[in-house]
Amino acid sequence: MLFSLGKLFVLEVSLLLTCFLGDHLLTHPVTNQRYLVAIGDSLTHGFVGAISWVIVIDAKNRHDIAQCLLCLMFAMAVDVDHFIAAKSLSLEAALSLPSRPPFHATTVIFLVDLILLIMAAILKSGTPLTLALMFTVAWFSHHVRDGTRRGLWLPPFTETPPLSGLAYLGLIMVIPLLGRILYTNWLQFSTDRQLKIIESNIV
């Protein structure tokens, strides 16, 4: 695997620091305003997603950075469901839901990946596979970060107890490494025309 161990070490440490900093800010007196907590938490999810994708693809250039920004947006987009479920743009309403909103169901990741795998087979394109991997890295890392409070939710099957700090940080570090193995072995050389179109819209 052509990947500098030094660079990988720096990126993994960056992931840990992002989590430590983001989690610390959530409980810091400075961020006792609900909207500041929500913004800080969302940005932390986004940065974890972006750094994870840097590891997955070994990002080197502008084209790669665009993919990382897309992964950042995927990771942050999970929390949109709070507002959809509340049917309101009010942060108060979004954070006072009686149950977990739908994008926080980890089973949704399997469903979306299945749809993207079928699309890849029909279109004979690697782009849906790359998107499936990016989506999985972004959303699962978000679910794992949230999982320290309420566990992982896998409706209609089960839900886990809240994740321990060790399980949380361990998974956050392992997810991009597994993603990298999948990417280098199966996806790196596939056609990426559709993804480039998406990227060109956000650069």
Ranges of H-type helices in 32-190: 34-57, 62-77, 80-86, 91-94, 107-123, 127-150, 165-182
Report, in Å, the least distance between residue 66 CB and Zn ion: 24
The answer to whether 85 and 102 have CB atoms below 8 angstroms apart is: yes
Distance (Å, whole) CA 164 – CA 37: 22
Among positions 118-177, residues that touch Zn ion (CB under 5 A) are: 146
In the complex, least distance from residue 79 CB atom to Zn ion, rounded to whole angstroms: 5
CB of 146 to Zn ion, least distance (A): 4
Q: Give every CB contact of residue 39 below 8 A, 6+ residues apart in sequence.
A: none
- Considering the complex, state which of residue 67 and residue 106 has its C-beta at the smaller distance from Zn ion: 106
Nearer to Zn ion, 23 or 146 (CB): 146
What are 193's two structure tokens?
Answer: 């025309």
Give residue 153's identity as a one-letter amino acid code: W
Decide whether 53 or 103 has the Cβ nearer to Zn ion: 103
Nearer to Zn ion among residue 79 and residue 192 (C-beta) = 79
Is the CB of residue 111 less than 8 Å from the CB of residue 119?
Answer: no
Q: Which amino acid is at 108?
A: V
* Bridge partners (DSSP) listed for residue 159: 153
Cβ 93 to Zn ion, closest distance in Å?
A: 16
Of the listed pieces 9-17, 78-86, 124-132, 175-183, which binds Zn ion according to CB under 5 A?
78-86
The residue whose Cβ lies closest to Zn ion is 146
Q: Is 79 in the site for Zn ion (CB under 5 A)?
A: yes
CB of 174 to Zn ion, least distance (A): 20
The answer to whether residue 41 forms part of the interface with Zn ion (CB under 5 A) is no
- When asked if residue 81 is in the footprint of Zn ion (CB under 5 A), the reply is no
Terminal-residue alpha carbon distance, the chain: 29
Q: Residues in the site for Zn ion, rule: CB under 5 A?
A: 79, 146
